[in-house]
């Protein structure tokens, strides 16, 4: 079955920028939010996103024959209800979470505590039992919850969520754009600090401080500042023998001449950003490195030329590969492009090992948002990697990323 969004064009790319808090707004109804003071109330702009998302979710519930959807994943709860949990507080998150129950006529937020234990899962199961019909769940926080719901034989909610999220409304696109801008503005402070002798963890600290000063509501990607070797043999061992990326930040002292693949992602009011660039420590790129960058830009342009309503994920992968002399310009354990929304990486994916049969069924539409992340690699000479966020428009695509490729171009 083809993964296609609902019909409808994208007429605008900028949503409502109002920021007044709307206390207690939960989906289509108003009421008190679960009584945990650590949870942030939704803004008017977040509520607008939720009101736009809800009909798409109901449409996909009908299409998949589902009467009740149980959402345990924080990002999915935010998508469906606008309710945001403090994901930056792991201790709190491990003890309690807010679960959303979505039916065709109502939605309900349930404070779910201690889901690793029978007492907690039975309380949640009791709340779910109030809603009959076919059931689907997005994820199981614990084996205990899977066990207690076994009699309902829940289906997998991931396909219907993926189809609902495939197209973003203008207000949702504006949330992504805002998240991306915060990420990029933070990099305006990080890049000047890049110099021989600084530790990668110092860059992380600077980045974290700046994103929250700029209004980020969370961090989604542990900042990556990987020093890329000129050959695979010089890098960390991998079972596959491929270029290792990413690996954890370790406190490494950066040296003159290091080439860094960086990758960061932040959260803004439930919506994600994704940033990637290649930087040089203390030197300018040489002629070969600039050539790698030009090939990267050629691949980006080729992908953007085919990205439009009706194109498929496979079309994007083929365009990237053909521009790179027939070789896939992406890391084999990743892909050349992925979607972004409430997750830093979500459907659609382009250039996976699923191949043509599957990716030809994933059809892009106006409002689909993609992150292009090709990698140009030359064994013995290193390579170039960056990321560009684009939104599919009515007649093509438009860049949401607005950050230079210094020092390459």
The model's pLDDT over 75-100, given as tens digits with 9 standing for 90+, comes to 898 888 888 765 545 555 556 778 99
Q: At what angle do helices 74-81 and 158-165 cross, to 10 degrees?
A: 50
Residues β-bridged to residue 337: 350, 372
**Measured over all CA atoms, what is the biggest interatomic distance in the chain, rounded to whole angstroms?**
67
Query: Phi first, then psi: what are they for 211, rounded to 5°?
Result: -65, -35
Mean pLDDT of 55-75: 92
The tokens of 115 are what? 């889901």
Kindly report, residue by residue over 104-154, the tens digit of the pLDDT: 888 888 877 778 788 888 988 999 998 999 999 999 988 889 999 999 999
The tokens of 148 are what? 């207690």
Q: Kindly give the residue spans of alpha helices, DSSP state H, lying in 74-229.
A: 74-81, 90-95, 118-129, 143-148, 158-165, 170-193, 200-213
Among 151, 264, 258, 155, which Cα is nearest to 203's? 264
Peptide bond into 348 cis (omega under 30): yes
Instruction: Examine the pLDDT at 12 and tell me if it is beyond 70.
Output: no
Distance CA(149)–CA(70), nearest Å, equals: 11
pLDDT at residue 46 in the model: 56
pLDDT at residue 116 in the model: 77
Of 25-29, 156-160, 281-285, which gets the smallest average pLDDT?
25-29
Peptide bond into 246 cis (omega under 30): yes
More confident residue, 200 or 145: 200
Instruction: Examine the pLDDT at 195 and tell me if it is beyond 90.
Output: yes
- For the chain, give every domain's residue range: 25-165, 170-399
Distance CA(178)–CA(17), nearest Å, equals: 10
pLDDT at residue 30 in the model: 28
Of 116-120, 183-187, 382-386, which gets the smallest average pLDDT?
116-120
> What size, in residues, is the chain?
409
State the residue for tokens 């066990």: 147
State the residue for tokens 């890098």: 235
> What's the order of all strands across the beta sheet hosting 337-339?
346-350, 337-339, 369-372, 388-392, 397-399
Q: How far is CA 13 from CA 179, 184, 269, 363, 369, in A?
A: 15, 19, 18, 20, 11
pLDDT at residue 89 in the model: 53
More confident residue, 394 or 50: 394
Average pLDDT, the chain: 86
Split at pLDDT 50, 70, 90, the class of 26 is: very low
pLDDT at residue 42 in the model: 54
Mean pLDDT of 147-170: 93
Instruction: Examine the pLDDT at 369 and tell me if it is beyond 60.
Output: yes
Q: How far is CA 200 from CA 177, 191, 211, 218, 248, in A?
A: 27, 12, 17, 20, 10
**Was domain 170-399 assigned CATH 3.40.190.10?**
no
More confident residue, 50 or 175: 175
pLDDT at residue 19 in the model: 29
Q: Are strands 218-227 and 259-268 parallel, antiparallel or unpaired?
A: antiparallel
Identify the CATH homologous superfamily for domain 25-165: Creatinase/prolidase N-terminal domain (3.40.350.10)
pLDDT at residue 82 in the model: 81
Instruction: Examine the pLDDT at 54 and tell me if it is beyond 90.
Output: no
More confident residue, 302 or 244: 302
3-state secondary structure of 293: helix
Distance CA(157)–CA(45), nearest Å, equals: 26
Mean pLDDT of 355-381: 96
Q: Kindly give the residue spans of alpha helices, DSSP state H, lying in 151-196.
A: 158-165, 170-193
- Global confidence as pTM: 0.84
88 neighbors 219 (Cβ within 8 angstroms): yes
């Amino acid at each position: 079955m083809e993964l296609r969004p609902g019909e409808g064009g994208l007429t605008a790319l900028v949503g409502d920028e109002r920021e007044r808090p709307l206390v207690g707004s939960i989906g289509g109804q108003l009421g008190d939010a679960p009584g945990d003071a650590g949870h942030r109330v939704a803004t008017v702009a977040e509520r607008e996103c939720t009101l736009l998302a809800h009909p798409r979710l109901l449409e996909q519930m009908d299409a998949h024959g589902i009467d009740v959807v149980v959402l345990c994943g924080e990002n999915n709860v935010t998508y469906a209800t606008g309710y945001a949990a403090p994901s930056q507080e792991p201790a709190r998150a491990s003890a309690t979470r807010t679960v959303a129950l979505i039916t065709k006529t109502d939605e309900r937020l349930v404070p779910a505590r201690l889901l690793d234990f029978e007492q907690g899962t039975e309380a949640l199961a009791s709340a779910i039992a109030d809603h009959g019909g076919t059931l689907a769940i997005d994820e199981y926080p614990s084996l205990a919850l899977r066990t207690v719901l076994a009699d309902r034989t829940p289906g997998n909610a991931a396909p219907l969520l993926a189809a609902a999220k495939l197209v973003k409304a203008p207000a949702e696109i504006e949330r992504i754009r805002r998240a991306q801008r915060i990420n990029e503005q933070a990099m305006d402070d990080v890049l000047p600090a890049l110099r021989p002798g600084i530790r990668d963890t110092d860059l992380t600290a600077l980045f974290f401080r700046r994103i929250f000063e700029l209004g980020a509501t969370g961090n989604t990607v542990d900042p990556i500042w990987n020093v890329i070797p000129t050959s695979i043999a010089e890098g960390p061992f991998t079972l596959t023998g491929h270029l290792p990326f990413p690996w954890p930040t370790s406190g490494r002292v950066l040296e003159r001449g290091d080439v860094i693949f960086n990758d960061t992602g932040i959260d803004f009011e439930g919506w994600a950003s994704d940033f990637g660039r290649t930087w040089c420590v203390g030197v300018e790129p040489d002629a070969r490195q600039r050539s790698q960058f030009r090939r990267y830009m050629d691949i980006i342009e080729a992908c953007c030329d085919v990205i439009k309503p009706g194109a498929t994920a496979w079309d994007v992968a083929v365009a990237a590969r053909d521009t790179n002399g027939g070789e896939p310009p992406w890391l084999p354990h990743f892909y050349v492009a992925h979607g972004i929304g409430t997750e830093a990486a979500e459907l659609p994916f382009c250039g996976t090992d699923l191949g043509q049969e599957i990716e030809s069924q994933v059809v892009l539409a106006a409002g689909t948002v993609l992150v292009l992340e090709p990698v140009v690699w030359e064994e013995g000479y290193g390579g170039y990697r960056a990321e560009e966020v684009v939104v599919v428009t009515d007649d093509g695509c438009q860049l949401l990323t607005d950050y230079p490729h210094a020092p390459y171009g």
